[in-house]
Chains A and B, each alone.
Chain A
Amino acid sequence: MANFMYLFRDTAGNRGQPSPEEMQGLTKAWMIWMDSLKQGGHLVKTGERLDVRGTVVRGKAKAVTDGPFAEAKDIVLGYLILQANDLAQAVDLAKGCPNLEIGGAVEVRPIVSSG
């Protein structure tokens, strides 16, 4: 077993104005997917969403760029940590993520173990 991080990426601004019914559908789909990860014993840490506001500090010059990053392409909107046998299984599990259904992406990254 190894640990992996899922990074949920999307263009924040591409969601448009979903209707309440659509938002409920998406929430439900996420709950079902999260539940399946939990049932399978894969969930290490319940995920969290990241606000599109924020700040980036870059380089030696310590240049500061302030959000909101709502216009930015392909930013990380959330993450979770799971365990799987190998990368192949982690990728397979990621295919159930509702984020994919609305045009987003899931980046699957093995967490480098300290041992």
Chain B
Amino acid sequence: MVDHLFRREAGKMVAYLTRLFGLGRLNLAEDVVQDTLYQALETWSMQGLPDNPSAWLMRVARNRAIDLIRRDDHFRDLTPELTHLQLADGAASEPAIEREILDDQLRMMFACCHPGLSTEVQITLILKTLCGFSVTEIANALLASEDSIEKRLGRARKFLREAGTFAELTNPSDLAGRVEAVYQAIYLLFNEGYHGSQSERTVREDLCYEALRLALLLSEHPQGARPRTFALVALFCFDAARLRGRVDGAGFLVPLEQQDRSTWDQELIGQGFRYLTRSASDSDVSAYHLEAGIAALHSSAPTYERTDWARIVDLYDRLYDLKRTPIVALNRAIAVGQAQGATAGLRELAAIPALPTLQQYPFYPAAEGEFHRLAGHSAEARACFEQALRLARNPSEARYLERKLEALQI
């Protein structure tokens, strides 16, 4: 059985059924899918896997939907959909159905990223409907309580019930704005997983792979196959390829300069480069392009020292023009320090506008400490690392900073 088969198929079936039932009946679609998967559990567990598990699930889901509409007067308005469901069984060819379901998933993606929903709610809804996560799994993955996840989903369902209709995939003006919202949501989904702390490690890596899967899904659809999507896919490939090297055996964060580069997934890095090439097919240079370019340079560098820091600085300069965030400024300053020496790095760090978010961010004083260490200012380096340690947000970060402090004593 393919890994995460149930979860993937749940996402497909929910998207398909919700298109038929309407956005206001998302719950109903989810119930049908839950029952379908349960039936798979009961049947397959003793009788083994059917020849085509996806088709088996879709057929059972369809039949359950047909039964439901026939049996329950509440669903009388869905009678026209009955014909569609009945025809879909067997009549349409496999590729045509695949195409239809891809459309459905894309519509669902756009619905989840409706501008009327906050990004937090968007991500939660994506995980629930398109990724087949349970409330508990979402709560664990997003480090929120189950109660707050339930609340977010409740808000989202109410909103979608009132908003009513799906965006039309054929209407370009409907799409343009929504695609950006989808990028933003799956970008945040990836980051949520990438910056995970130790205890939630496996679940959170899952988030990265889900974000990559959704970006690929988008890239496979004619409406989503555009340079920016390819750039996002490339970025996720490069970052996901290095996930294994980012955490040590005990689950602690390993800084880039100490990572064992042989653990990096060369196949994913290769895929990243293929998408990066495709992303350059027109003049569009988005923040995703620049971030993918930076990740590509890190992924292909033989060692930390032999990284092309000058080009990375150049890409960060352009990224900072598009995305003036403290984190981009910090990473840019670190790259400058690597390219031009510790003194230049300290100068760039000092030039970053002092923002409260950055002052709470442990990697700001940590970067300062690192450059002080390289410049031979051990007292300043110690003060910076101690400050960083006070700001550590999880045991993994704390352990990383403690090691930095220990290294100073030698």
Contacts and interface: CB of A to CB of B under 8 A. Distances in A.
A1 to B, nearest CB: 22
Contact of A34 (B7, B9, B48, B137): B48
Contacts of A104: none
A19 B46 contact: no
Nearest to A80: B46
Q: Mostly helix, strand, loop or mixed at chain A's interface?
A: helix
A49 B133 contact: no
B44 interface: yes
A48 interface: yes
Interface stretch (A23-31, A83-91, A105-113): A23-31
Contact of A26 (B5, B45, B132, B136): B45
A31 B34 contact: no
B41 interface: yes
A49 B47 CA distance: 10
A23 B41 contact: yes
B38 interface: yes
Q: Tell which of A18, A20, A98 has the most Cβ of chain B within 10 Å.
A: A20
B40 A30 contact: no
Interface in A8-64: 17-24, 26-28, 30-31, 34, 46-49
Given A19-B133, A20-B37, A23-B38, A34 B45 contact: yes
B38 to A, nearest CB: 7
Given A19-B134, A21-B132, A49-B42, A27 B47 contact: no
Interface string B44-88: 111111000000000000000000000000000000000000000
A47 B7 contact: no
B4 interface: yes
Given A19-B132, A47-B46, A27 B137 contact: no
A31 B7 contact: no
A69 B77 CA distance: 32
Assign chain A's interface to a size class.
20 to 34
B106 interface: no
A49 B45 CA distance: 9
A26 B45 CA distance: 8
Interface in B9-49: 9-10, 34, 37-38, 40-49
Contact of A31 (B9, B44, B134, B136): B44
Contacts of A46: 46-47
Given A19-B136, A24-B4, A24-B5, A30 B46 contact: yes
Contacts of B1: 24, 27-28, 31
A78 interface: yes
A35 to B, nearest CB: 8
A24 B7 contact: yes
B134 A27 contact: no
A24 B45 CA distance: 10
Contact of B134 (A17, A26, A49, A80): A17
Interface residues of B, number: 25
Contacts of A21: 4, 6-7, 132-134, 137
A24 B46 contact: no
Contacts of B48: 31, 34
Contacts of B6: 20-21, 23-24, 27
B132 A27 contact: no
Interface in A69-103: 78, 80, 98
A78 B44 CA distance: 13
A112 to B, nearest CB: 24
Contacts of A19: 7, 132-134, 136-137
B330 to A, nearest CB: 36
Contacts of A17: 34, 134
B46 A78 contact: yes
Contact of A20 (B7, B42, B47): B7
B10 A20 contact: yes
Nearest to B3: A24
A28 B6 CA distance: 11
Contacts of A28: 1
Nearest to B132: A20
A17 B7 CA distance: 14
B198 to A, nearest CB: 21
10 contacts: A17-B134, A19-B7, A21-B7, A21-B133, A21-B134, A24-B4, A31-B48, A31-B49, A80-B46, A98-B45
Interface of B: 1, 4-7, 9-10, 34, 37-38, 40-49, 132-134, 136-137
Given A18-B134, A26-B41, 18 more contacts: A18-B38, A19-B7, A19-B137, A20-B6, A21-B6, A21-B132, A24-B1, A24-B6, A24-B7, A27-B45, A28-B1, A30-B44, A31-B49, A46-B47, A47-B46, A48-B46, A49-B42, A49-B45
CB-CB nearest 7 A-B residue pairs? A30-B45, A19-B134, A20-B6, A24-B6, A47-B46, A49-B42, A20-B132
